[in-house]
A and B are shown apart, each in its own frame.
Chain A
Amino acid sequence: ETGVTQSPTHLIKTRGQQVTLRCSSQSGHNTVSWYQQALGQGPQFIFQYYREEENGRGNFPPRFSGLQFPNYSSELNVNALELDDSALYLCASSSLGGLTTYEQYFGPGTRLTVT
């Protein structure tokens, strides 16, 4: 077990709604990254947070936003949900900050279904 926790484990939302997913990073880790994993695909990088600031962003629209808190936990917010947002959302923490990309320790994920 990595020590990275996510909540909720499963979520069903309707198109157009908003959702907030939560992540607690592993003790000692100050960087959190969020990934979207569609069925049968590899994780796709959404963004990374380091010292409470967005440190890098993948090819996702602005309706995907996030926060990192002083205790390094993080939230992923998605507005105006679309059917294609249905996926496993993974949070990953790492121990070194911001300058390079080291091994990621993933949480169990939140399975989001948009109907």
Chain B
Amino acid sequence: GQQVMQIPQYQHVQEGEDFTTYCNSSTTLSNIQWYKQRPGGHPVFLIQLVKSGEVKKQKRLTFQFGEAKKNSSLHITATQTTDVGTYFCAGPNDYKLSFGAGTTVTVRA
């Protein structure tokens, strides 16, 4: 069955630095979705990418969908303490949404 993998599992970042987290699917995706879950909270939808090679920005967050529609990345610039949490990518498979294991981000002030 479809598998969605994310790396790294943990990302420890100095405040102000940039980082990137990656998502790879074992199958071609119709779309890729990204969610953020704060500690003790629930996943919150961030964005959906649909087109091959699509790039979308949300303030300091840049999301990219690969040309083959099997991978995606999230790049955060000038990391802030508000960026703390776990970032999940998710890919649809029929009626199911398969989530990766997430990248948990901690920030050193």
Contact = CB atoms under 8 A, between A and B. Distances in A.
Main secondary structure of the interface of B (DSSP, over half): strand
A108 B42 contact: yes
Main secondary structure of the interface of A (DSSP, over half): loop
Contacts, number: 60
A55 B97 CA distance: 13
A42 B88 contact: yes
Interface stretch (B13-21, B43-51, B73-81): B43-51
Contact of B43 (A41, A55, A101, A106): A106
B102 A42 contact: yes
Given A42-B88, A42-B101, A103-B48, A55 B42 contact: no
Interface stretch (A11-19, A43-51, A77-85): A43-51
A44 B99 contact: yes
B89 to A, nearest CB: 9
A14 B93 CA distance: 34
A102 interface: yes
Residue among A44, A55, A101, A104 with max Cβ neighbours from chain B (10 Å): A101
A74 to B, nearest CB: 15
A76 interface: no
A33 interface: yes
Interface residues of B, number: 23
B66 interface: no
Contacts of A109: 42
Nearest to B9: A40
Interface in A61-115: 88, 90, 98, 100-109
A67 to B, nearest CB: 17
Given A90-B42, A103-B45, A104-B45, A56 B94 contact: yes
Interface of A: 2, 33, 35, 40-45, 48, 55-56, 58, 88, 90, 98, 100-109
Interface of B: 30-31, 33, 35, 41-45, 48, 88, 90, 92-102
Sorted nearest first, the 3 A-B pairs with minimum C-beta distance are A56-B95, A101-B92, A42-B99
